[in-house]
Amino acid sequence: MVIEIPELFSKDEVRTFRKALEGADWVDGRRTAGHRAGKVKSNEQLSLDDPVAKRLADQVLARLAQSPLFIAAALPSRVLQPRFSRYDGQGHYGNHVDNAIFPIPGTGEHLRGDVSSTLFLSEPEEYEGGELVIEDMFGSRTAKLPAGHMIVYPGGSLHRVTPVTKGVRFVSFFWSQSFIASPEQRRLMFELDGAIQGIVGDHPEHGAIDTLTQVYHNLLRQWSTT
């Protein structure tokens, strides 16, 4: 399931992000890649302990907690600290699959990467190339969204970023552990939640709302890995 979340951040907020990112200290993105991914990765990232990265990551996490669409799509139990990357001068990231398990810095604990997310921080017209291409059960999806918009997709999907041939592509990216590990079951829960919200909006007194809500929460109990 691939879900677009529009306007997670406003244009003014993105401009503030960009001002901070443009003056930040970037390092080779291959430092954080695994053995296979490092061979196909060419970009720059902020170190996790960079003060700019930490400050902006906290803002992203706070906004995610206020996004009903993200919560419905990811059903997140934990979200890894968002990271920031920069692509220019033919920067790209070839076909790869994100790690299944991520260490949580400074804790000794680990997070299962069920859901991947990319928050776009450059306008599409600011750069050429740089499309995020996601392969899932429905075929190939291409995303190059307006700044402030985000895309959510299964962590186990094969995906890539095409070369940036002009301009600069800034993004934030991160992974979430979901209460429901199965992408198919998450998709069903998302569709059921959407149906319930639709009935509530059109027929707020409909008797089926309570029954459907009961089904939703009982499925969550049955499928939750917690």
CATH of the domain at 30: 2.60.120.620
Report pLDDT for 38.
65
Domain that holds residue 199: 183-223
Largest Cα–Cα separation, the chain: 58
Report pLDDT for 75.
98
Domain count, the chain: 2
Report pLDDT for 32.
67
pTM of the model: 0.93
Residues 73 and 91 in one domain: yes
Residues 136 and 208 in one domain: no
Residues 152 and 187 in one domain: no
Residues 190 and 142 in one domain: no
Report pLDDT for 71.
98
Residues 126 and 171 in one domain: yes
* End-to-end CA, the chain: 22
102 CB neighbour count, 10 Å cutoff = 18
Spatial separation of the C-alpha atoms in residues 47 and 127, rounded to whole Å? 24
Report pLDDT for 80.
97
Residues 127 and 215 in one domain: no
Report pLDDT for 64.
98
Residues in the chain where the model's pLDDT stays below 50: none
Domain edge (last residue) among 161, 178, 195: 178
Residues 189 and 157 in one domain: no
